[in-house]
Amino acid sequence: MESFAVGPLNKVRRPDRGNYDKAAVHSVLDEGLVAHVGFIDHGRPVVVPMVYGRVGDLFYLHGARAARFAKAMGAGVPVCVTVTLTDGIVVGRSAFHCSMNYRSVVLHGEACLVGDPAEAERALAAVTDHLLPGRWAESRPMIEKELRATAVLRVEIEAASLKARSGPAIDEPEDYELPIWAGVIPLRFVASAPEGDARLEEGVDIPASVQARVRR
């Protein structure tokens, strides 16, 4: 079982909740949809929500080339990225023991602008297929003007950890006899029925990528 090395950047202070297994970390990254990317811009911390893609231990971000994130991170700066999945609200008999069930990955690396057009296109395919597996092949190919207007950043994962909580509240022993409800409210991220664009040509069917996302 391959794991990320444990060090000052990624050590989880609660050993019972920490996991450094690469497969476990990758599974959370693959299930999540939004990453919060933290970096320093002009001496101030900035955190930006972004869609992303993963190829092995390479984490890709994209956006407008003129955007602040591309200018601030493109030259190569340390970043911290988090992806969190919320699985349930934990209801304790006391407010102190109310909590969340979750899976959260924190990763560290250095962001740099991708200059190779072939790698940039592979990265954009990974980002697209992360949102909707198979969508890149269904879509109209990107044209050169679109590629020039898009900044692609690569973050090689240097350190990462998964922190998770599951199960019911852990109440005080004496509180279990109280007539107060406790338990877990499960949370699920569910896609609703797709809504077609008003300008769709007649007879255009819902593609396989969209149908698969809805079934998930």
- For residue 89, count CB atoms less than 10 angstroms from its CB and return exposed for 0-12, middle for 13-18, buried for 19 or more: middle
Angle made by CA atoms 117, 29, 78, in degrees to the nearest 5: 60
Closest CA to 81 of 43, 125, 51: 51
Which residue type occupies 157? Answer: I
- Please state the pTM of the whole predicted model: 0.92
- pLDDT at residue 202 in the model: 92
pLDDT, tens digit only, all 216 positions of the chain: 799 999 999 999 999 999 999 999 999 999 999 999 999 988 999 999 999 999 999 999 998 887 777 778 777 889 999 999 999 999 999 999 999 999 999 999 999 999 999 999 999 999 999 999 999 999 999 999 999 899 999 999 999 999 999 999 999 999 999 999 999 999 999 999 999 999 999 999 999 999 999 987
**Which residues does residue 77 pair with via DSSP β-bridges, in sequence order?**
111
- For residue 175, count CB atoms less than 10 angstroms from its CB and return exposed for 0-12, middle for 13-18, buried for 19 or more: middle
Query: How do beta strands 99-113 and 52-55 pair?
Result: unpaired
**What CATH code would you report for 15-169?**
2.30.110.10
- pLDDT at residue 76 in the model: 83
Note whether 139 and 128 are within 8 A (CB): yes
CA 5 to chain centre: 21
The total number of residues written for the chain in this structure: 216
Phi, psi for 107 (deg, rounded to 5) = -130, 150
Contacts of 48 (CB under 8 A, 6+ apart): 36, 37, 39, 69
- pLDDT at residue 74 in the model: 73
